[in-house]
Amino acid sequence: MTFSTFAFAFALVLLSGLSTSIGGALAVGRREPGPAFMAAALGLSAGVMLYVSFMEILPEGIAQLSDALGEETTGTWAAVGAFFAGIAVIAIIDRLVPEEINPHEPATTAEEARRKKLMKTGVFTACALGLHNFPEGFATFLSGLDSKEVAVPVAVAIAIHNIPEGIAVAVPLREATGSRKKAFWWATLSGLAEPLGALIGFGLLLPVIGPATMGISFAAIAGIMVFISLDELLPTAEETGEHHHAIYGLIAGMAVMAVSLMLFM
């Protein structure tokens, strides 16, 4: 492997990961997002996360575990177990984190309580997407080392579906903090998990990582993302009072992810 090959592969990962910044910029670009925009954006975020969880991440977990365990049925059961284990973990964390982010400063108004709930939603979303992007970055990096013809369309597809992921992070955090800058940088940070995953995977995990580890990780991450969508994003979208905009956003998010994932085929 030459340095130019390494640099090319890493540049692809970096550019695809940083496309979450585009989503962050779109989310913070409006001066005063109204309830309809908030409902649609949060619905879009949920649609992105639900579709990618059920159509990409969980099936990948099943495939990896089936390969590791040597039988499709056993691999499917293991993946389903990891999926619900991921849900259980994030549910326990959710119960342990108070409704108010700082328990020593309880919310004194309904608006303050709403902002603190949005803050928790945004941070959990950023963490879940960061976990998802970590192995995604490693996979993109490996494809870049192997074949430019394969790596470029893969990186483009990832970049496209990272844009709504950036929106998913930035929208609740902008509303929670009132800061466009913080929301934008949180969205960017979730995307930087991809180049980080590439470097750590190349330096440490490549000799030891196997299908079983990757399969369990993928399935658990899918469970985490589904829980966040159903417990945080959609309820928050409904609280705006714009039910139809939330549903339109949900469907649009699924459609965006469907198109971006089709680019892999």
Q: H/E element holding 41?
A: helix 35-52
pLDDT tens digits, one per residue of 182-204: 889 888 888 888 888 888 877 77
Binding site for Zn(2+): residue ranges? 136, 161, 165
Binding site for Fe(2+): residue ranges? 133, 136, 162, 165, 194
Separation CA 265–CA 257 (nearest Å): 13
Q: What is the pLDDT of residue 132?
A: 65
Question: Considering only CA atoms, which of 261, 265, 234, 264 is closest in space to residue 55?
Answer: 261
pLDDT tens digits, one per residue of 9-49: 888 889 888 888 988 888 787 666 678 887 887 788 788 87
Q: What is the pLDDT of residue 243?
A: 93
Neighbours of 62 (CB within 10 A): 23
Cβ burial, residue 184 (10 Å; 0-12/13-18/19+): buried
User: Picking from 40-44, 100-104, 224-228, which range would have the lowest pLDDT averaged per residue?
Assistant: 100-104
Q: Is 102 helix (H, G, I), strand (E, B) or coil?
A: coil
Span 246-257, mean pLDDT?
90
Higher-confidence residue of 172 and 242: namely 242
Q: Could you tell me the pLDDT band of residue 105, with boundaries at 50, 70 and 90?
A: very low
pLDDT exceeds cutoff 50 at 115: yes
Work out the angle between the directed axes of helices 58-69 and 211-228 (0-180°, nearest 10).
150
pLDDT exceeds cutoff 70 at 5: yes
Binding site: residue ranges? 133, 136, 161-162, 165, 194
The whole-model pTM stands at 0.66
Residue pair 126/225 in contact (Cβ under 8 Å)? The answer is: no
Higher-confidence residue of 133 and 39: namely 39
Residue pair 134/193 in contact (Cβ under 8 Å)? The answer is: yes
Higher-confidence residue of 94 and 24: namely 24
Cα Rg of the chain (Å, integer)? 18
pLDDT exceeds cutoff 70 at 154: no
Separation CA 239–CA 100 (nearest Å): 17
